[in-house]
Each structure stands twice: as C-alpha cells, then as structure tokens.
Amino acid sequence: MELPYATLRFASYYGDHMVLQKSPQRAVLWGYGPDGEKVTVYLSGPILQKVSSVPVKEGIWQVTLDPVEAGGPYNVYAISQSSACNLTDVLFGDIWLCGGQSNMYFNTSALCGIAALAGVVADFSAVCWLFGRYMYDKLQYPIGLVESCWGGTPVEAWSSPRALKQCGLNQSEDNSMMKSTVLWNAMIHPFLNMTIYGAIWYQGEANAEYHQDKYNCSFPAMINAWRMGFHQGSGGQTALDFPFGFVQLSTYKNGSADDGFPEIRWHQTADMGFVPNSRMKNTFMAVALDLPDKTSPYGTIHPRDKQDVAHRLTLGARAVAYGEKNVSFQGPFPKEIMLKENSIIITYDKAVSVASSKNIFEICCSEKKVSCETKSIWLPAAIMDWNHTSIRLFAGSCPSSEVAALRYAWRDWPCEFKACPVYDIDGNLPAPPFITNKYSADQNVWKRI
C-alpha cells in the first residue's frame, strides 16, 4: 500500500524568508511525511537547536521549538529516515494574523499617496502591511504577517459552529456557504497550529443588513472562538486572550442614516462604544468614520487612506498588546451627561479639541420617559460652546425634562475627511460614535443639575 506522503515536507504555509513567533512563546512547526517514521528538526543560525524526534502519525508530524529570541536568520531542517526538507532565511519575531473582508483585502498597490510598490507587497493587504511596517519601526524586530481575508463576507463565515450557536445562529442558514462557517473551516482552521502573537480585523460592511442585530454577539463570539482555537491548536503557545485589534467601519453612502453602518459600528464594541471593555477584553479599535473617500476609484465603500487606519491600529497595539505606557490610542468618550435648563453638558474622559457643528449630535424626546430606539425621531442638538473637557449642546427643541436619549455621529458618513467636530486634544483621534438612553437600566452617565 502506497503511503499518503512518501516525501517529508513542511505544511504549505511555511516557506523560505518567513517569520516564526519569537520567545517567550514557542513556535510550532508541522508537516507531512511517511507514516511511522520519526522526524527530527534542527535550527541552525545564531543559536543551534535540536528538537527531539517525533513520530509521523497518519501522515502528519508536529514539533514545538524551544523559545527563540527575536532575530535571525536561521535555517530549519526536518529530517526523517527516508527524506529531508528545509527552510532558509527564517527570522523570529511577532506574528499577526490579518483577517476580514474587502477593506482588509484592499492591496497596497491601490494606496493613496504611496508610490507604486513592486512584487508580492503590491498584492498584499494594505492595512496589514502598513500595520506591520509601523510596528517594526517601533519595536525594531521582525514582524510576521499572515493575510486571510475575502471580500463581501459576513462574520458568520469566519465563525466556528460553537460561536454561531452561542448567538442563536444556524450554521447552515439560508443554505449559503458564505453565510456559514466556510471561511472558518477553509481560511482560519488550517492556521490554528501556528503560534501567533495577535490579530487585526477589518469587516462589518456585509453585516450592515445581514444579521445586523446579532453582531453585538457574533463578533465577540468570533474573537473568542479564534482565541480558543489558536490556543488549543498551538498546544497553549498562542495566548488564550491574545490581543485582537479591529477597524471600526469607515463610510459608504453620504447623507444616509439608515443603512446599518451606525448600528454595526456600535455593535462592533458590544454596544459599549469603546474597547477594551468587560465583554471585549484585550482588544483595541481604530475609529475610521472620519476618513471618507468621495473619489475612490474602488467605490466609496473602499477608502484609499489606509495609512491613518493602520497608524491608529498601531497606537492600540502599542498600548493594549505591548503595554506601552502613556500612549493615547482612544478618542474621547462621554463619562457624564448633565441636563440643565435647555442645555446638555457632556463631560469627556479626556481633553478634547472641538469644532462647531449643528447636527452631528442628536437628541430624542420622550414624554412618557421610555427609551428611544434608533428609528425614533431624533432632533439636532447644536454645539453651543465648549472647554477642554466638556461640550454644551442646545436642547431647545426638546424640554430638558423630556430629553430621553443622546447620540453622536449616528450616520454612515457623519463628517468630511478628518473634519469631525470632536477629537482628542491633539486633534488626531476622533471621538467614536455613541448612543445613550437616559432610561436604560445600564446607563449611569446621566445627571441632572
């Protein structure tokens, strides 16, 4: 009987010039070979390392290297009784997985403001490549990037059956493979044995209509499923709570308030408006609603400015994933809302820079003192004045006793390029959108004076 794998080889995603995860984690290598033979792996370079021989079982072998500090280059040899294979010019650093739909797939060759890039880089994810480049500039050691993305796909396609079940979603709903676990099976599961440091994600447009109301569950559940899968698949080498960064949706249709983008932005944070939070620990977010692109030849849903997106992700990674102190990575968020006569005073959790605006803040009135919905009637609340930590809005269209809810930037396209009215004090990080109901049980930011 012919053996399924007569020649020893590495799994297909291992190759020359690649990066493996550095210490303190231990990189995992695996591949195929003749059943019953033993495989020994050697690492040759700045240090010499030999891994104890492991048997080939059902055509597959797998080894875990001892921890290796950042750097290289190394040659990696796998040797069995009948054959051998090797990888050359291997470096050790941090591995980041980049996933999502078309805005993560968006190639570096289409970037605005960057000269044409040649070779493999031209066809690589722009957000992923820029994130890696910016992280390398800061960390000064190798960054390995794994791109796994597919345009037009909902979060359900990237989720495990267990994650879907947790959110009351049917694995085979609509009889469409793109709305089940197909990409979890085809494009995530094969990587689970790999040791990684973290992941970044850009997706959500496809869920603006499809299971929009479930995204506040399905997205956190997908993150948790990835974390558990990589942790188990790598034999515990990938952290069970590995850092996960994502891009909050940018823009698509100018003037639209009901295409689902505002709701998805909110659901991306598990309806809390910011991350990390109690439901999404060890996560970070790049707000992108102020980066529209009216003239994008790829459609307005694909803005070309991925440099700012990647830079904002980098700030989050530095603070959350690497614990760097004094790194500002979040835009201002309300910590207290006070009603006074015909005014609403918003106090933020950090210093703000503010520009005047008549309609980006909106209020909802309720005589019956009940919560408002996103489809309720919302009225503009103009910015009257501000100081370095607070903004005062005019609520004259609604008596203060009837103000039931407040929201900010609740439109697909709330402002022009880098021209939203509220940023951090340096004017670099936009305030994320929010919606808050005075009569909701979980809202404790509302005060009356």
Q: How confident is the model at residue 415 (pLDDT cuts 50, 70, 90)?
A: very high
CB contact at 8 A, 449 and 376: no
* Interval 91-123: pLDDT, tens: 999 999 999 999 999 999 988 766 658 566 889
Is residue 263 domain-shared with residue 360, that is, in the same domain?
no
Region of poorest pLDDT, from 254-263, 278-287, 297-306: 254-263
User: Mean of the pLDDT values across residues 168-190?
Assistant: 80
CATH code where residue 49 lies:
2.60.40.10
Residue, of 443 and 90, whose pLDDT is higher: 90
**104 within a domain of the structure (yes/no):** yes
Contacts of 274-281 with CB under 8 Å at 24 or more apart are 274/330, 274/333, 274/432, 276/320, 279/220, 280/220, 280/223, 281/241
Is residue 229 domain-shared with residue 178, that is, in the same domain?
yes
Peptide bond into 24 cis (omega under 30): yes
**423 within a domain of the structure (yes/no):** yes
Residue 400's pLDDT is 74
**342 within a domain of the structure (yes/no):** yes
User: Which residues are CB-neighbours of 264 under 8 A, at least 6 positions away?
Assistant: 204, 205, 207, 208, 212, 215, 249
Residue with tokens 């936009």: 430
* DSSP assignment string, 177-188: GGGTTHHIIIII
Is residue 61 domain-shared with residue 156, that is, in the same domain?
no
Residue 375's pLDDT is 79
Is residue 307 domain-shared with residue 374, that is, in the same domain?
no
Question: Whole domain around residue 59: which residue ranges?
Answer: 9-91
**329 within a domain of the structure (yes/no):** no
* Interval 206-243: pLDDT, tens: 999 999 999 999 999 999 999 999 999 999 999 999 99
pLDDT at 61 over 50: yes
pLDDT at 383 over 70: yes
> Of the residues 30, 64, 91, which one is the last residue of a structural domain?
91
Is residue 251 domain-shared with residue 176, that is, in the same domain?
yes
Region of poorest pLDDT, from 115-119, 298-302, 304-308: 115-119
> Of the residues 91, 109, 124, which one is the last residue of a structural domain?
91
**2 within a domain of the structure (yes/no):** no
**430 within a domain of the structure (yes/no):** yes
* Cα separation, 275 vs 283, whole angstroms: 6
Is residue 279 domain-shared with residue 371, that is, in the same domain?
no
Residue 1's pLDDT is 38
CB contact at 8 A, 134 and 310: yes
> From the CB of residue 178, how many other CB atoms can be counted at a distance below 10 Å?
15
pLDDT at 445 over 90: no
Residue 252's pLDDT is 96
Region of poorest pLDDT, from 163-177, 208-222, 240-254: 163-177
256, two tokens: 């639209």
pLDDT at 198 over 70: yes
Q: How confident is the model at residue 126 (pLDDT cuts 50, 70, 90)?
A: very high
Is residue 194 domain-shared with residue 287, that is, in the same domain?
yes
Is residue 85 domain-shared with residue 103, that is, in the same domain?
no
CB contact at 8 A, 226 and 203: no
* Interval 315-337: pLDDT, tens: 999 999 999 999 999 999 999 99
Cα–Cα distance list, 211 to 56, 105, 218, 219 (Å): 44, 22, 9, 11
Is residue 368 domain-shared with residue 407, that is, in the same domain?
yes
User: Mean of the pLDDT values across residues 424-435?
Assistant: 97
> From the CB of residue 392, how many other CB atoms can be counted at a distance below 10 Å?
18
* Cα separation, 382 vs 401, whole angstroms: 18
Is residue 160 domain-shared with residue 282, that is, in the same domain?
yes
**232 within a domain of the structure (yes/no):** yes
What is the separation, in whole angstroms, between the first and last Cα of the chain? 84
> From the CB of residue 268, how many other CB atoms can be counted at a distance below 10 Å?
28
> Of the residues 91, 119, 141, which one is the last residue of a structural domain?
91
Average pLDDT, the chain: 93
50, two tokens: 């030999």
Backbone angles phi, psi at 424, to 5 degrees: -65, 175
Task: Work out how many domains the chain is built from and give that number.
Answer: 3
CATH code where residue 188 lies:
3.40.50.1110
Q: For strand 352-354 and strand 9-10, is the pairing parallel, antiparallel, or unpaired?
A: unpaired
**328 within a domain of the structure (yes/no):** no
Q: How confident is the model at residue 173 (pLDDT cuts 50, 70, 90)?
A: low
pLDDT at 29 over 50: yes
Asked whether the whole model's pTM tops 0.75, one would answer yes
Q: How confident is the model at residue 399 (pLDDT cuts 50, 70, 90)?
A: confident
Q: How confident is the model at residue 178 (pLDDT cuts 50, 70, 90)?
A: low
| 131 exposure class (CB count in 10 Å sphere: 0-12, 13-18, 19+) | buried
Is residue 76 domain-shared with residue 99, that is, in the same domain?
no
Is residue 238 domain-shared with residue 137, that is, in the same domain?
yes
